[in-house]
A = this chain, B = another copy of it.
Amino acid sequence: MKRIGVFTSGGDSPGMNACIRAVVRTATYHGIEVYGIMRGYSGLMRGEFVKLDSASVSNTVQKGGTILKSARSHSFRTKEGRQQAFDQLVNNGIEGLVAIGGNGTFTGAMIFEQEFGIPTVGAPGTIDNDLYGTDYTIGYDTAVNTALDCVDKIRDTADSHDRCFFIEVMGRDSGYIAIPCAIGGGAEIVMVPETQMSVEAAIETLRSGWQRHKTSFIVIVAEGDVEGNAHHVAAHVKAAIPQLDTRVTVIGHIQRGGSPTAADRLLGSQIGIAAVEGLMNGMKNVMAGIIDRKLVYTPFIDTISKKKPINQSFMRMVEILSV
């Protein structure tokens, strides 16, 4: 393998640049050329390629976002789009790809490989941590710390005013971000998609706290919770316990940005190295991940079809710690 490409696709996450940097420097270290592909599959089809060397990625490890930008592409879902992408790669002599993203990204890469034989190794880049095949995804630790920092700030004002705050965090269909925010943020209640906690149960807990003269509360609501978003939950609670002074904060896209934590820089770096060395060893259609501190390559077919269950003991922790 003489030349590879690297791109980011799907939602950006902090640590993607650490991963890109590791891809570039590992390739350089092994004498392989690297092209950065701008804007994911969209730039791949259009040939938006930039030659990268060691200096190109200096001073990027601490930056949020992705220097290669990201975009969604509808055309790559068509055969014509993929043909176009293939032609661009052939014309530029690119023989393998590192794709940093999530399952949407990997699905595209898998189909592309089946049709055109270009091997891709994936890197799990998403704040949601909902990917099978790795304990943590790149960006997750930063997103949790950012959200927790917001919870800390809100608690200052919740305590000062005897209020009940409903804080909505990201996480798509999982409670991965919500749960450490609840445990680490001293929340009384956490509502996540993985459990059946009803608004009624939340109301019961709040009412009982109120009766014990507890006056300020934090409820963490995961965006994907079946009971609906924080505004919805808050409205139900307010209707049931009108004395509660309720407020809602949706943390939103703040969670996607910011300088990555040490853990995300380290993880991004480990996986970037592994992705390049995986390609060099003939791998394809696999995602590099770290499970129990060991490097593991998991087939895309598994990362796409299998669900990583959340540690159920965490739900028990919230219950014990909010005693």
Binding site for B on A (CB under 8 A): 8, 11-12, 14, 18, 21-22, 25-26, 28-29, 39, 54, 58-59, 61-66, 69-71, 135, 141, 144-146, 148, 150, 152-157, 159-162, 165, 180-181, 183-186, 247-254, 256-263, 265-266, 269-270, 273, 292-293, 311, 317, 320-323
Which residue of the partner chain, among B69, B160, B165, B256, contacts A69 with CB atoms under 8 Å? B160
Q: Are B257 and A249 in contact (CB under 8 A)?
A: no
Q: Are B252 and A249 in contact (CB under 8 A)?
A: yes
Given contacts A161-B70, A293-B135, contact A25 B323 (CB under 8 A): yes
Which residue of the partner chain, among B141, B165, B260, contacts A262 with CB atoms under 8 Å? B141
Q: Are B159 and A323 in contact (CB under 8 A)?
A: no
Q: Which residues of B have CB within 8 Å of A185?
A: 61-62
Q: Are A65 and B321 in contact (CB under 8 A)?
A: no
The oligomer's copy count stands at 4
Q: Are B70 and A256 in contact (CB under 8 A)?
A: no
In whole angstroms, how far apart are the Cα atoms of A317 and B253 in the complex?
27
Given contacts A71-B162, A249-B252, contact A323 B29 (CB under 8 A): yes
Q: Are B258 and A249 in contact (CB under 8 A)?
A: no
Q: Which residues of B have CB within 8 Å of A152?
A: 62, 257-259
Given contacts A165-B253, A257-B157, A258-B152, contact A311 B323 (CB under 8 A): no
Q: Are A262 and B70 in contact (CB under 8 A)?
A: no
Given contacts A257-B156, A259-B152, contact A273 B320 (CB under 8 A): yes
Sample of 15 more A-B contacts, CB < 8 Å, known A25-B321, A269-B321: A12-B161, A28-B323, A62-B185, A66-B160, A69-B161, A135-B293, A148-B265, A154-B257, A180-B262, A184-B266, A248-B252, A249-B252, A250-B252, A254-B254, A263-B263
Q: Which residues of B have CB within 8 Å of A160?
A: 8, 12, 65-66, 69-70
Which residue of the partner chain, among B39, B65, B141, B293, contacts A157 with CB atoms under 8 Å? B65
Q: Are B22 and A321 in contact (CB under 8 A)?
A: yes
In whole angstroms, how far apart are the Cα atoms of A186 and B258 in the complex?
16
Q: List 26 A-B contacts (CB under 8 A).
A: A11-B157, A12-B160, A12-B161, A25-B320, A25-B322, A29-B320, A54-B323, A59-B159, A61-B184, A61-B186, A64-B153, A64-B156, A70-B161, A71-B162, A144-B262, A145-B261, A153-B253, A153-B257, A155-B257, A156-B256, A180-B263, A249-B252, A250-B250, A251-B254, A254-B254, A261-B261
